[in-house]
A and B are shown apart, each in its own frame.
Chain A
């Protein structure tokens, strides 16, 4: 009856093969060599955050225990972790849709956010003990640059705001050691009952983020914490990781994701300016929260292809792990 649709996990080799097969196309940019470290944004990742992926991994920080599941997506994240290490960033900058701020774009400026994040929607899967460092100087620079660009912004300095699962999920899945400082940005919208993000504003926020990174001389990797197609079930199996129940919501949702990912794989990223809103219209994609647009705008819509490291569904939503290396 149901089938799990996955693309094979990618690798540096598969990326190189694709680039070689289409010499006229942009192709994924090469991974960094051992030369001198430059500042700026060195790479960006589409890093979806379903709590199921953290739950399935059974890390010590998360209270619930699982028997696994969603392996292909998690293998994609293993590859992401290897590549991220090779980029040797100073900081991870994440934009996540479940820190929902109704007024403006907020940046977490708390030096050491820590606590337990019990996720109200998935409390049986995600009760995560977090403790990480913020790159406060860069966080404040993002607030300043955002304001200078005319955005409504706010610097969160209050301890005690629970860090959401989309922020923690992307950061854990990209860097489970939590040994890099973080800058965390909120999503100024409410995908559930207020409104979608203004993608135009996300372009502005992306450009402001880039200026802040350059101004502070950081070597940064960006994470866009978004799933793709976002129609999903409203119940779940008794065993959440029962993969017999896991498959796309519909053929249309799957096909919509594949159309977008084909453009990602072919590049250049500027083609995604039209493709992202079209994909949102076709699949209610979570990129409507703006994280992916923010990421690509911050990278200056580089003339490269993305490398799709994995694709899979989680409670029927489409999820892709993708790398873009700054040229």
Chain B
């Protein structure tokens, strides 16, 4: 049996302390295989984003472990951790986090700039990924001037710029109309099928969840086996 690309054991995360203490995750164990497509489904506030952040090594768990390709994340040096964040993972944030004053292209090539890629190659690769998401004509526009759906695609383009092996997408269609949402969904599944990118997506939408290979249900920081509650 192959080593899962991401694997967690008894993962917990607690925010705040004293009376403000809140257990956002309460023992999550999960294995995700290479090339899989996984939907994380749950109510608002159930801990979906928290779990995603821990999986993408953007935050440190309270207890439990995350293994990447069989390596315990806690044993990684700062440099190795940054290399993983930069080259292995692409993250589409729920709130976009675009730099509105910069151009679309500048936003998209940010991971390449951090990786130390030269200006010329940065441009070429940035344009290629924008092409892929049908945004090439917007490359010179300020990111702040785009429509919601266009911004969503720019964020995906940025997550894909450095050819990640795992793409995390937090509610990629949450604030889009159904037609635009459909286009974004197609882009994601195309990447999963044709480029073998492991796709981990948070969603409320059950129709979307149904298109994934696998669904993981979460309630009050714990994984549950069925989605009866949600289906109701």
Real complex partners, A and B? no
| B residues lining the A interface (CB < 8 Å) | none
